[in-house]
Structure 1
Amino acid sequence: MIAIKPKASYKGVFLNAEYRFYSEAFGGGFLKQGWVGYKFNEKNQIHAGLVYVPFGIQQYNSNNWFFNITYYVGLEDDHDMGFKYIHEDENFEYAFAFFKNAEELNFVGGQENNSSRYAYDVVSRNKETNQVNGNFVWKFGGHVNHRMGFSAQYGQLYNLDTKENGDHYAIALHYEVYYHDWNFKISLNHVAHNPENGEDSSNDILQMGAYGTPYEIAADFNIYTLSASRKFDINWGPFEKIEAYNDFGWMRKKKDEFDSSLMNVTGFKITAGNLLTFVDYAAGYNHSWLGGNFVDDFSTGTPGAKWEARFNINVGYYF
């Protein structure tokens, strides 16, 4: 993957964009983010364009290269088309946003969303539209720093067959604690989709897409995540820092006939100048990207499926 990240600023106006190039088999090239902003003062600013969605632990609910299971249902490191207002001070952070569309690449009405995108969004015969988001974080502590937060989002799902709007919503409680070089993250998420599908389509399953290929997810579910990490200064030749971590996620689907999906990643990342290297052992149960049946792991799943895993090393050079 090659990414181009232009940034610019002038008298309170600033630009932030990122375009990524993958192989055609992995979705090709697409815009991850691209927005302009205005900084009113040191505490308040506004962003417009393809902007980061304020939901859950910011910016990542994980430490590893694979993210956590929240990413695979559109709840981590997501970007949509709209406006966002951000406030940050010593004790509080909050953001409010309105999104007209997801990562819309084709503005012709009546056509399905393209799955060649960075973050997961609803695709196929339903389209995300008119979504509002709110994220609130209370910061407190001294020797031990805490970040306790609440997030919510609500939006419509426009169906191309029935030409009617269903809806979807998500709420989350999240908490982080920092103690010296330790960090712990926990999040509790409740998600529901209520599409207005045609008679031949189930309302218990949706399609989400990214990286050129869609898959199914359950319409209603809870997700629980827990992460821990520890940083070390090592100074071994070119190696400066190492961070060890474990990220766990459990997707419990509301429909009794659907089997759960789980994910656990144990690994570390190494900093050496402009090189950042992730070394991960990622294990999944009913997880589309970690073995099994790609199409329906996050929807019906396979009862009694085996845990499957990937060992992955990713080296990134940033300049």
Structure 2
Amino acid sequence: MRTTTTCLQKISLFLLCILPLGELEAQEKPKINVGGALRFNYNLSSWKEGQKNRGGDFGYDMFRVNFDASWKDVYLNAEYRIYSEAFGGGFLKQGWMGYRFSETDEIQLGLHQVPFGIQQYNSHNWFFNITYYMGLEDDHDMGVKFLHVGENFEYNLAFYKNSEELQFGGTTESSSSRYAYDVVGRNKEVNQINGKLVYKFGETFEQRLGASLQFGGLYNLDTEETGSHYGLAAHYEVNYQRWNLKLQAIKAGHDPKNAPGTSDQVIQMGAYGVPYEVAANFKVYTAAISRNVPVSWGPVSNLQFYNDFGYMDKEPQSFEDSFMNVTGVLVTAGHLYTYIDYAAGYNHSWLGGNFVDDFAAGDPNAKWEARFNINIGYYF
């Protein structure tokens, strides 16, 4: 009798536990959205004689998958990209879990965008601005970030344990197979703090005036000592009718504790599977302007014309400075977005340079090179 009673009690308790849960699961299932993009690219480069002889090249650029999920005020955001092996293959661009405290405040944990400078992008074109190529535009690192978005003020506070870590070895260098540029080689970014403040004002001219700062460590695998790096930025953005203007000034410095015989005037940065050298100390000035022109050309609904300029002023003075300018138009046709760009660069690794040290010592005998580029992407 005691055994029978005990069994009935256990069954009753089990049913009491699972039935409410079943109701909860039926009523409060998480919302999940899946999207992505497929992109192709055509380019014709002034410094590639063989390519010019055959009229340029057209091929695969990238395929990506996006996931958004939410349950009550807890949510997930993730994006995985697959490039060709020559450009790093597949890697996670971003991926974080978040919680919304209110309509104005939230927290994010994981691989998310570093709050620094004009966001989401300091540019309008497919190539980004020159800030991207030294890890100061659309950078993503591993950490926790608090965001406040008020009517007149926005501010972000963040702590990043490190950049994307794929190896987890005690003496393993950071991989260059990543979306955004970070310090790689014998130094690793560690324990970085970020703060960003934006003041929003104006009605006819919608303006955003802001300042950003970041400070963190550089752990050297050879000396096992931690150096430092920092960044300071002042930025301004204005929207007026169909016009957009972005202005930004940045000062950045790196003080690695390298092994004897290793220069501390350059650091190594990597993305898309390949590292290169960048001046350890520099200033960057950028200006980007665009104008939207609505049209009704079949599926084409908008043309956005733009010009994005960037100048990198390096230290020491013996280093040759770098420049970048992109003129183009973004054609919007439903879910199809096409960037048509004329990108010119001077001492720019991705625009005609030797790739290795264009953003560091550079070449005083370099000349401006250009790339005509068409990127076609279907976003779903």
TM-score range for the pair, normalised by the shorter chain length: over 0.9
- Give the TM-score taking structure 1 as reference length: 0.99
Name which of 149, 158, 162 aligns with 2:210.
Answer: 149
Name which of 58, 62, 84 aligns with 2:145.
Answer: 84
Name which of 53, 64, 85 aligns with 1:3.
Answer: 64
* TM alignment of 1:14-25, pairs within 5 A: 14-25=75-86
Question: Structure 2 unaligned runs (5+)?
Answer: 1-61
Greater C-alpha Rg: 2
For 2:164 and 2:294, locate their aligned partners in 1 and report how far apart those are by CA, in whole Å: 39
Secondary structure in structure 2 of the residue aligned to 1:72: helix
Name which of 118, 131, 135 aligns with 2:192.
Answer: 131
Secondary structure in structure 2 of the residue aligned to 1:77: coil
* TM alignment of 1:189-204, pairs within 5 A: 189-204=250-265
For 2:103 and 2:332, locate their aligned partners in 1 and report how far apart those are by CA, in whole Å: 30
Name which of 225, 248, 259 aligns with 1:187.
Answer: 248
Aligned partner letter, 2:86: A
Partner of 2:45: none
For 1:14 and 1:135, locate their aligned partners in 2 and report how far apart those are by CA, in whole Å: 23
Name which of 258, 279, 298 aligns with 2:359.
Answer: 298
Partner of 1:244: 305
Partner of 1:121: 182
Secondary structure in structure 1 of the residue aligned to 2:172: coil
* TM alignment of 1:239-318, pairs within 5 A: 239-318=300-379
- Give the TM-score taking structure 2 as reference length: 0.83
Name which of 158, 183, 191 aligns with 1:97.
Answer: 158
Q: Percent identity?
A: 62
For 1:16 and 1:60, locate their aligned partners in 2 and report how far apart those are by CA, in whole Å: 18
Deviation at 1:304, TM superposition (A): 3.1
* TM alignment of 1:42-53, pairs within 5 A: 42-53=103-114
Partner of 1:66: 127
Partner of 2:38: none
Partner of 1:41: 102
The Cα RMSD (Å) is 0.5
For 1:151 and 1:224, locate their aligned partners in 2 and report how far apart those are by CA, in whole Å: 15
For 2:170 and 2:100, locate their aligned partners in 1 and report how far apart those are by CA, in whole Å: 34
Residue 228 (str. 1) matches residue 309 (str. 2): no
Q: Which has the higher helix share?
A: 2
Partner of 1:218: 279
Residue 29 (str. 1) matches residue 90 (str. 2): yes
Partner of 2:24: none
Aligned partner letter, 1:203: D
For 2:239 and 2:170, locate their aligned partners in 1 and report how far apart those are by CA, in whole Å: 47
Partner of 1:57: 118
Aligned partner letter, 1:85: F
Secondary structure in structure 1 of the residue aligned to 2:296: strand
Secondary structure in structure 1 of the residue aligned to 2:132: helix
Deviation at 1:51, TM superposition (A): 1.0
Cα-to-partner distance string for 1:174-231 (whole Å, 9 max, x where unaligned): 0011110001110000000000001121000100000000000000000000011000
Name which of 140, 162, 178 aligns with 2:201.
Answer: 140
Partner of 2:234: 173
Cα-to-partner distance string for 1:126-153 (whole Å, 9 max, x where unaligned): 0000000011100000111110000000
Q: Which runs of 4+ in 1 moved over 2 A?
A: none
Deviation at 1:19, TM superposition (A): 0.4
Secondary structure in structure 2 of the residue aligned to 1:290: coil
For 1:109 and 1:19, locate their aligned partners in 2 and report how far apart those are by CA, in whole Å: 26
Secondary structure in structure 2 of the residue aligned to 1:6: strand
Aligned partner letter, 2:68: K
Deviation at 1:71, TM superposition (A): 0.2
